[in-house]
Amino acid sequence: MTPRVDVVVPGGFGGPWDARAGEFITVIDLEGEQTGDFVAFVTADPDEWLSPVHCREALQNLFVHAGDRLVSNRRRPILEVVADDVGVHDATIPACDPTRYAVEFGVPGHRNCFENLFNAVHGRGVDARRFPEPLNLFQNTPVVGDGRIGLTDPVSRPGERIVLRALVDLFGALSPCPQDIIPGNGLRPSPMRVVVGVAAHLDGAE
């Protein structure tokens, strides 16, 4: 069955997606080792969004896994992880933004996930001052000795994917992270593909 949405988002840029209740959202790391910052808003009320901080409370875990139901900032399940080739994702790191590069790396003007994500959903009732933390697909931030954040690259290989099912009508954005200074994307931002449709997009044979 032909998917309703099928887009390739270039590495370091952002792209929108939308999904009706019951549809499957498949995010594919086309070349491997790429983090995809992902935000989702409830179409009927964009003040309700996928909330990693509330997911941590509901799941009692830093990370998300296949079978998990992901909740909104109103503690309502809005997405379900249906299938996952990789099993390593991050729900703790805020999107890289202009200050991440300007303040912490001394590089103002760098492309960043916050602007990628916001620009992709601009005009849909989303306020930059009330923007959610992202779920970072494939991002690899292990807990290492004494509670430090491990800084390393994703373990995803080319073509690996995560499949989510929308439990309500949603729209959102994906930003294959432009971070090319520290580990996170193998120092080389690369494209990702988003497929939305009524069938789970589980094989790469199309």
Q: Tell me if 4 contacts other proteins by CB under 8 A.
A: no
**Does 188 contact other proteins by CB under 8 A?**
no
> Does residue 62 belong to the site contacting other proteins (CB under 8 A)?
yes
Q: Minimum distance between the CB of residue 165 and other proteins, rounded to whole angstroms?
A: 22
CA distances from 182 to 110, 147, 152, 163, 177 (A): 13, 20, 8, 27, 12
d(CA 148, CA 128): 30
- Regarding 94 and contact with other proteins (CB under 8 A), the answer is yes
| Interface residue with other proteins, options 22, 125, 142, 204 (CB under 8 A) | 142
Number of residues that bind other proteins (CB under 8 A): 29
Tokens representing 12 are 């370091």
What string of DSSP letters covers 195-206? EEESS----S--
Q: Are 84 and 156 in contact (CB under 8 A)?
A: no
One residue of 151, 155, 198, 202 binding other proteins per CB under 8 A: 151
User: Cβ 54 to other proteins, closest distance in Å?
Assistant: 5
Rounded Cα distance between 12 and 112, Å, is: 7
In DSSP notation, 123-177 reads: TSS--GGG-PPPEEET----EEGGGEEP-----PPTTEEEEEEESS-EEEEEEE-
The encoded tokens of residue 112 equal 């960043």
Residue 31 or 68 having the CB closest to other proteins: 68
Q: How far is the CB of 116 from other proteins (least distance, A)?
A: 17
Per CB under 8 A, contacts with other proteins among 34-53 are 51, 53
Minimal distance, residue 65 CB to other proteins, in Å? 9
Contact 55, 72 (CB under 8 A): no
Q: Which stretch binds other proteins (CB under 8 A): 20-28, 118-126, 143-151, 195-203?
A: 143-151
CA atoms within 13 A on the CB side of 102: 7
Provide the minimum distance between the beta carbon of 51 and other proteins in the complex, in angstroms, as a whole number: 7
Interface with other proteins includes 61 (CB under 8 A)?
Answer: yes
**Residue in 45, 57, 122, 125 binding other proteins, rule: CB under 8 A:** 57
Structure tokens at 91: 């729900």
| Chain positions contacting other proteins, by CB under 8 A | 51, 53-54, 56-57, 60-63, 73, 92-94, 99-100, 103-104, 127, 129-130, 133, 142-144, 146-149, 151
